[in-house]
């Protein structure tokens, strides 16, 4: 960093080392003539670039290569614009996004963020890009909505209308930005005019400094005061920028070179200025190797502005060398930036090819005929995916941007027209569906007050199933007819629910009775006589059944009852088969009383599978026995054969139990 006077690295700009007009100095005139001619030069417009030279190059543009000068001029153009409004310098702090890749919602959010948190001119370019992307996408959406409306509405008296909260929010935030921008520019114009008059007055005072009779110390003090006033004079119109700066620098050069200044003071100032410019050159040498080219180029603009605006001239012996170094490094930076731009253009070309391919795919979909709503939904989903890919593909070269966007809109519009023609053809089907659903609504309303729940409930459920099987109706009737049907069905089933709640009071009473009886049963003891004890247990079971069903959420009490029975059966020493069958019988009776036909059917299927499994197992074991008994040398059955026969007997006993269960279950279904 430069630490001496005039050391300010925070500005942005680059231009030749104190440019001066060619027609401002005539080498055949005397110094005084030169000053008088410059003083009489009227500041009306910015001189042409070809007439701008560097006074440190001894009035010769030939000393600077054309390529170097082009790089310097590129920076000068940007600095001239930013000189008019210093807030433009801050725009670099906000990264420019590829707004074409954002959705409408994301664009509105980004606009809101910029308007709320950034200065007007800092966000100006970003907001205009957001506006362009938003309106392009919104207008495209509007066209699609209008096409859908026209496809579904044949009434010529019905006007198309579409309102989007996103558009409302966008207009609100953009209006805030536009008002702030107008206010800013109105204030800016007033300041620019005042600052220009102030700077012209400073130039006039600078002309008057050349007075050989004046005290040199007073003159130097006045000169330094003018330079300080110049630095703080504020921005001026960009079309006056170079001209006014050139005149100012011309008179500063004359002050140094043609007046009889104190040589020692002048040399010290030359030395200081040279050191400042050498530091700038050293910094630019570092910037040439900076990885972030855009960041480095912005700093180079700062250094050019400091070189031109804040640092005075150097001695003639160093002017050419120091300027040539600076301009050559500027060219290197400029070339690196051009390579970056070239790479970006290559990426844009790749994006163009991607978007062309996407457009081609949409064009193909606009010709693929499908004949079912579900198939069209799949086609629509494909197009939506392609639309998203198109918007996410990134920027394309600006010269083909409008053409590419137009081709995309045309492809999507053709697809929508093709799709809408299908839905026009199925309009008749939708009207037929409307008639069918209207009839179901009438039927549901007719039955909604019925109290014959046993008869009406299956009919209402059947009506609901029929409703599901009927296809779409015209959208304008869809919500209304669905509400009528839903209200009628809900009204009936609410009445059914109330009726069931009344019945549930009996189940609650049964639960209370069983809960009380369960406590009594816990105290029951067997007396040791098998038949009497078995009869007592059967009586308990019969009593329990007579209490009736309990509410569904409280069926756990049945499990507690079964646990007590299991314990009693254990003490009774019944055979395994008898115990198993009594438990099974009790459980099946419970399912039968609860009318749980689904569980009864599942139980039947389970038992049939178990019978089949046991039979297969017996068959396999009997085959194994055949293998051993047919062996020639087998004189007697060994332990393996005996074990197999034992397993066959066990499986046959098990099979008998399963068959008995199936028989009992079938008898239960018959009853």
Q: How far apart are the first and last CA of the chain?
A: 104
Average pLDDT taken over every residue of the chain: 75
**For residue 50, what pLDDT is reported?**
35
Is residue 199 a part of any domain in this protein? no
Kindly state the average pLDDT of the residues 130-147. Answer: 80
**For residue 551, what pLDDT is reported?**
74
Angle between helices 31-40 and 238-257 (to 10 degrees): 160
Buried b (16+ CB within 10 A) or exposed e, 607-633: beebbeebeebbeebeeeeeeeeeeee
The CA–CA distances, whole Å, from 320 to 14, 58, 248, 478, 480 equal 17, 8, 21, 84, 86
Residues 185 and 123: their CA atoms lie apart, in Å, by 14
In the predicted model, is pLDDT for residue 31 greater than 50?
no
Kindly state the average pLDDT of the residues 455-480. Answer: 87
Picking from 167, 182, 197, the residue at the C-terminal end of a domain is 182
**For residue 442, what pLDDT is reported?**
92
**For residue 180, what pLDDT is reported?**
82
Taken as a whole, the chain contains a residue count of 671
Q: Are 452 and 591 contained in the same domain? A: no
In the predicted model, is pLDDT for residue 92 greater than 60?
no
- Residue 236, helix vs strand vs coil: coil
Q: Are 78 and 33 contained in the same domain? A: yes
In the predicted model, is pLDDT for residue 419 greater than 50?
yes
CA dihedral (519, 520, 526, 531) positive or negative:
negative
Q: Name the token pair of 463.
A: 């009506």
Is residue 419 a part of any domain in this protein? no
Residues 331 and 304: their CA atoms lie apart, in Å, by 13
- Contact present, 210 and 260 (Cβ < 8 Å): no
Angle between helices 475-522 and 530-546 (to 10 degrees): 150
In the predicted model, is pLDDT for residue 492 greater than 60?
yes
**For residue 265, what pLDDT is reported?**
67
In the predicted model, is pLDDT for residue 100 greater than 50?
yes
Picking from 461, 487, 503, the residue at the C-terminal end of a domain is 503
**For residue 12, what pLDDT is reported?**
35
More confidently predicted of 501 and 37: 501
**For residue 13, what pLDDT is reported?**
34
Is residue 469 a part of any domain in this protein? yes
State percent of the chain over pLDDT 70: 77
- Contact present, 105 and 166 (Cβ < 8 Å): yes
Q: Are 175 and 305 contained in the same domain? A: no
Picking from 320, 341, 362, the residue at the C-terminal end of a domain is 341
Residues 482 and 472: their CA atoms lie apart, in Å, by 11
The 10s digit of each residue's pLDDT in 261-277 is: 556 667 787 888 899 88
Is residue 399 a part of any domain in this protein? no
Q: What is the DSSP letter of 19?
A: -
E strand intervals along 242-400: none
Q: Are 449 and 434 contained in the same domain? A: yes
In the predicted model, is pLDDT for residue 575 greater than 50?
yes
Q: Within its chain, how far is the Cα of 537 from the centroid? A: 71
More confidently predicted of 95 and 555: 555
Residues 6+ apart with CB under 8 A from 247: 21, 24, 38, 41, 43, 203
pLDDT tier at 487, thresholds 50, 70, 90? very high
Q: Are 266 and 329 contained in the same domain? A: yes
Is residue 518 a part of any domain in this protein? no
CB burial class (10 A; 0-12, 13-18, 19+) of residue 319? buried
Is residue 544 a part of any domain in this protein? no
Q: Are 224 and 306 contained in the same domain? A: yes
In the predicted model, is pLDDT for residue 83 greater than 70?
no
- Contact present, 440 and 467 (Cβ < 8 Å): yes
Residues 639 and 660: their CA atoms lie apart, in Å, by 32
Q: Are 596 and 663 contained in the same domain? A: yes
More confidently predicted of 478 and 373: 478
Q: How many domains does the chain have?
A: 4
Is residue 495 a part of any domain in this protein? yes
Kindly state the average pLDDT of the residues 432-452. Answer: 88
Q: Are 214 and 294 contained in the same domain? A: yes
Is residue 202 a part of any domain in this protein? no
The 10s digit of each residue's pLDDT in 599-617 is: 778 878 888 888 888 888 8
Beta carbons within 10 angstroms of residue 60's beta carbon = 10
Q: Name the token pair of 285.
A: 């040498």
- Contact present, 251 and 203 (Cβ < 8 Å): yes
Kindly state the average pLDDT of the residues 659-666. Answer: 80
pLDDT tier at 424, thresholds 50, 70, 90? confident
More confidently predicted of 591 and 555: 555
Q: Are 158 and 292 contained in the same domain? A: no
In the predicted model, is pLDDT for residue 99 greater than 80?
no
Q: Are 306 and 217 contained in the same domain? A: yes
More confidently predicted of 92 and 417: 417
In the predicted model, is pLDDT for residue 568 greater than 70?
yes
Q: Are 78 and 218 contained in the same domain? A: yes
**For residue 33, what pLDDT is reported?**
35
Enclosing domain of residue 445: 428-503
**For residue 467, what pLDDT is reported?**
92
Q: Are 260 and 317 contained in the same domain? A: yes
């Amino acid at each position: 960093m430069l630490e001496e006077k005039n050391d300010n690295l925070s500005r942005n700009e680059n231009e030749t080392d104190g440019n001066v007009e060619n027609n401002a100095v005539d080498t055949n005139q005397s110094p005084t003539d030169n000053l008088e001619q410059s003083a009489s030069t009227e500041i009306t417009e910015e001189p042409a670039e070809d007439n701008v030279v560097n006074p440190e190059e001894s009035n010769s543009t030939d000393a600077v290569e054309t390529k170097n000068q082009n790089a310097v001029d590129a920076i000068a153009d940007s600095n001239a614009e930013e000189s008019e409004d210093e807030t433009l310098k801050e725009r670099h702090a906000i990264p420019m996004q590829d707004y074409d890749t954002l959705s409408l919602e994301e664009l509105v959010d980004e606009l809101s963020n910029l308007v709320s948190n950034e200065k007007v001119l800092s966000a100006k370019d970003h907001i205009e890009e957001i506006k362009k992307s938003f309106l392009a996408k919104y207008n495209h959406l509007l066209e699609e909505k209008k096409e859908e409306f026209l496809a579904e509405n044949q009434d010529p008296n019905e006007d198309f209308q579409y309102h989007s909260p996103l558009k409302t929010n966008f207009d609100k935030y953009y209006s805030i930005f536009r008002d702030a921008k107008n206010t800013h520019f109105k204030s800016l114009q007033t300041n620019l005019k005042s600052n220009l008059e102030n700077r012209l007055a400073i130039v006039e005072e600078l002309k008057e400094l050349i007075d050989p009779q004046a005290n040199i110390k007073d003159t130097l003090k006045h000169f330094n005061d003018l330079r300080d006033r110049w630095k703080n004079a504020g921005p001026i119109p960009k079309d006056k920028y170079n001209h006014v700066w050139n005149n100012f620098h011309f008179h500063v050069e004359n002050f140094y070179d043609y007046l009889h200044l104190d040589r020692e003071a002048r040399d010290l100032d030359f030395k200081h200025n040279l050191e400042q410019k050498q530091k700038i050159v050293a910094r630019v040498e570092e910037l040439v190797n900076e990885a972030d080219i855009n960041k480095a180029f912005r700093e180079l603009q700062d250094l050019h502005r400091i070189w031109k605006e804040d640092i005075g001239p150097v001695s003639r012996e160093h002017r050419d060398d120091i300027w040539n170094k600076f301009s050559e490094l500027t060219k290197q930076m400029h070339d690196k930036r051009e390579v970056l731009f070239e790479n970006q253009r290559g990426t844009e070309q790749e994006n163009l090819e991607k978007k062309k391919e996407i457009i081609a795919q949409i064009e193909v979909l606009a010709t693929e005929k499908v004949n079912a709503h579900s198939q069209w939904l799949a086609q629509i989903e494909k197009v939506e995916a392609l639309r998203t890919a198109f918007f996410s593909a990134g920027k394309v070269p600006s010269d083909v941007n409008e053409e590419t966007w137009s081709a995309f809109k045309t492809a999507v519009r053709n697809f929508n027209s093709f799709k809408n023609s299908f839905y026009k053809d199925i309009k008749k089907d939708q009207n037929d569906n409307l008639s069918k659903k209207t009839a179901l609504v009438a039927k549901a309303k007719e039955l909604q007050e019925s109290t014959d729940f046993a008869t009406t409930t299956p009919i209402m459920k059947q009506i609901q199933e029929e409703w599901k099987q009927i296809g779409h109706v015209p959208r304008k009737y869809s919500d209304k007819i669905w509400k009528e049907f839903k209200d009628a069905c809900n009204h009936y089933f609410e009445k059914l629910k109330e009726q069931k709640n009344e019945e549930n009071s009996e189940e609650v009473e049964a639960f209370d009775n069983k809960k009380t009886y369960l406590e009594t049963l816990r105290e029951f003891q067997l007396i040791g006589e098998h038949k009497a004890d078995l009869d007592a247990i059967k009586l308990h079971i019969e009593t329990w059944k007579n209490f009736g069903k309990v509410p569904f959420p409280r069926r756990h009490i049945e499990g507690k009852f079964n646990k007590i029975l299991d314990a009693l059966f254990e003490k009774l020493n019944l055979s395994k088969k008898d115990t198993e069958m009594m438990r099974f019988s009790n459980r099946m009776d419970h399912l039968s009383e609860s009318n749980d036909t689904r569980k009864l059917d599942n139980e039947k299927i389970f038992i049939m599978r178990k019978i089949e499994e046991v039979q297969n197992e017996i068959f396999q074991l009997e085959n194994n026995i055949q293998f051993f008994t047919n062996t020639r040398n087998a004189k007697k059955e060994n332990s393996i054969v005996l074990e197999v026969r034992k397993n066959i007997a066990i499986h046959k006993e098990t099979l008998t139990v399963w068959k008995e269960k199936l028989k009992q279950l079938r008898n239960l279904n018959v009853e």
